[in-house]
Amino acid sequence: MSTGPGADSAPAPNRHHDAPTTSLPHLDRSPKRGSESGSKGGTFSSLRIRNYRLFATGQVVSNTGTWMQRIAQDWLVLSITGSSAAVGITTALQFLPLMLLGLYGGVIADRCPKRQLVLVTQAAMAVTGLALGVLTLTGHVQVWHVYLTALALGLVTVVDNPARQAFLVEMVGPADLRNAVSLNSANFQSARLVGPAVAGVLISAVGSGWAFLLNGLSFAAPIAALLLMRASELHKVDPTPRGKGQLREGLQHVASRPELIWPIVLVGFIGTFGFNFPIWLTAFVNDVFHADASTYGLLNTLMAAGSLVGALLAARRGTSRMRLLVGAALGFGLLEITAALAPSFWIFALLLVPIGMCGLTINVTANSGIQLAADPAMRGRVMSLFMMVFMGGTPLGAPLVGWVTDVYGPRVGFLAGGVVSTLAATAIGLVLLRAGGLRMRVGFRRGQPVVAFVPRPPSRQEAEARVPATA
């Protein structure tokens, strides 16, 4: 049984009606119903649940290995080719399957038991890390090996991402979902604090191969955690029976609900053009600051520190407000523009902390809000679309951003990403204001600027239409 006050001690009934039924995305709107409201158990409330504790423990180990491999992979490709565009190609290959096949991964996730499916995908990811480690340590690695491994990892991720995201609610239930998503992100960012630093030391001391090998071995932890879980304590959602038109059904579900479609569009723009940090940071380290792999690891660690703070702040919130998502996206873009123009290394480095905070806030707010707004029977398909546009847009953005960075320099490449993110946040924020019948009001209270969202007054035509016709 789950331990701690308020933890679930019995299997929950099948939840096919736990999603909010609102249709207008008011910027302050959040679910109010009891089982869907944010958890009140504190920042770490999800850890009271045994199955989630096991999951979180396994993930922090494998996430550390994953960040080690990311840093080592980027640096290995740059070392072999000397090209930022080649780093962009590697990133694109890893996310290309998400763009092409991501929606089908969501269909598979909805049709299969999530726990068993995640077991298979985690084992497959271990194989990719071990294979690249052996190739590198034996001195046979070539850039096409890295490309092929990145593509294989991307194919596994097509199924792993929606399955793991949808499995969260089965472990903790709807009431603790926002907290679990936030802690999952904090877990990932905690590993990001350690992984890049360890990778930088390993690369400098013994080469990239050991980072790849250790990443492959790290997947033993989540596999063991999944095997040790108590199935009776899961909030099970029955798999969706195989049928025709399920992919189209999922797309129609998203398109018909503003609280789903517009956050997905926003994170699509930001994920495609604003999250190309492997390209920008390697280029800044190599071409602007003329430093080595340890500096690259330091920059990633600073960004991770900001992301971790953002994740812990998100875990304390009981709701995921739309205006928070838009505000974080706007701040993210403006901070990227500022960092691109930073005159010194330490100003650039320190700006990565708030960039990490805003980026993580975007991810957590959109992720938890979309999961709770989606029909549980379609959660895998909805999350696959979310992950597809957030990460699968990288194959389009990464080569373009890499080319701009190579031709015009790292500052112009980073600046372009920030401009696109800022424009997307502004445009979609205005769309959401209009869809929610709101307008923004800026004023001052006690000498401090205050931004508020108030009901939009009806237009003259709308007011006239409300006046009943007289004889």
Q: 282 Cβ partners below 8 Å, 6+ apart?
A: 74, 75, 78, 84, 87, 296
* Mean confidence (pLDDT) of the chain: 78
User: Can you give the three-state secondary structure of the chain, one letter per residue?
Assistant: CCCCCCCCCCCCCCCCCCCCCCCCCCCCCCCCCHHHCCCCCCCCHHHHCHHHHHHHHHHHHHHHHHHHHHHHHHHHHHHHHCCHHHHHHHHHHHHHHHHHHHHHHHHHHHHCCHHHHHHHHHHHHHHHHHHHHHHHHCCCCCHHHHHHHHHHHHHHHHHHHHHHHHHHHHHHCHHHHHHHHHHHHHHHHHHHHHHHHHHHHHHHHCCCHHHHHHHHHHCHHHHHHHHHCCHHHCCCCCCCCCCCCHHHHHHHHHHCCHHHHHHHHHHHHHHHHCCCHHHHHHHHHHHHCCCCHHHHHHHHHHHHHHHHHHHHHHHHCCCCCHHHHHHHHHHHHHHHHHHHCCCCHHHHHHHHHHHHHHHHHHHHHHHHHHHHHCCHHHHHHHHHHHHHHHHCCHHHHHHHHHHHHHHHCHHHHHHHHHHHHHHHHHHHHHHHHHHCCEEEEEEEECCEEEEEEEECCCCHHHHHHHCCCCC
Q: What are phi and psi of 79, to 5 degrees?
A: -70, -40
Closest CA to 159 of 115, 124, 91, 108: 108
Name the pLDDT band for 8 (thresholds 50, 70, 90). very low
C-alpha gyration radius of the chain: 23
Q: Give the C-alpha separation, 94 to 78, whole Å.
A: 16
Reading the block at residue 251, the tokens are 């797309």
Residue bearing the bigger pLDDT, 370 or 50: 50
Mean pLDDT of 253-258: 78
**pLDDT given at position 12:** 35
Residue linked to tokens 């690259």: 296
Residue bearing the bigger pLDDT, 15 or 413: 413
Give ∠ CA 333-334-335 in degrees, rounded to 5. Answer: 90
Residues 93-106: pLDDT tens digits?
A: 887 887 788 778 88
Half-sphere exposure of 285 (CA within 13 A, CB side): 26
**pLDDT given at position 459:** 58
Residue bearing the bigger pLDDT, 138 or 469: 138
Q: 298 Cβ partners below 8 Å, 6+ apart?
A: 196, 197, 200, 349
Of the segments 204-208, 432-436, 464-468, which one has the largest average pLDDT value? 204-208
Mean pLDDT of 306-311: 83
Q: Give the C-alpha separation, 283 to 293, whole Å.
A: 12
Is residue 330 within 8 A of residue 281, CB to CB? The reply is no
pLDDT-wise least confident of 71-85, 186-200, 290-304: 186-200
Name the pLDDT band for 14 (thresholds 50, 70, 90). very low
Reading the block at residue 173, the tokens are 């239930």
Strand partners, 440: 453
Q: What letter represents residue 210's amino acid? A: W
Is residue 75 within 8 A of residue 208, CB to CB? The reply is yes
Name the pLDDT band for 88 (thresholds 50, 70, 90). confident
Q: Give the C-alpha separation, 355 to 363, whole Å.
A: 12
Name the pLDDT band for 334 (thresholds 50, 70, 90). very high
**pLDDT given at position 419:** 95
How many other CB atoms are found less than 10 A from the CB of residue 32?
10
How many other CB atoms are found less than 10 A from the CB of residue 375?
17
**pLDDT given at position 275:** 86
- The answer to pTM > 0.75 is no
Q: What are phi and psi of 24, to 5 degrees?
A: -110, 130
Q: Give the C-alpha separation, 61 to 102, whole Å.
A: 26
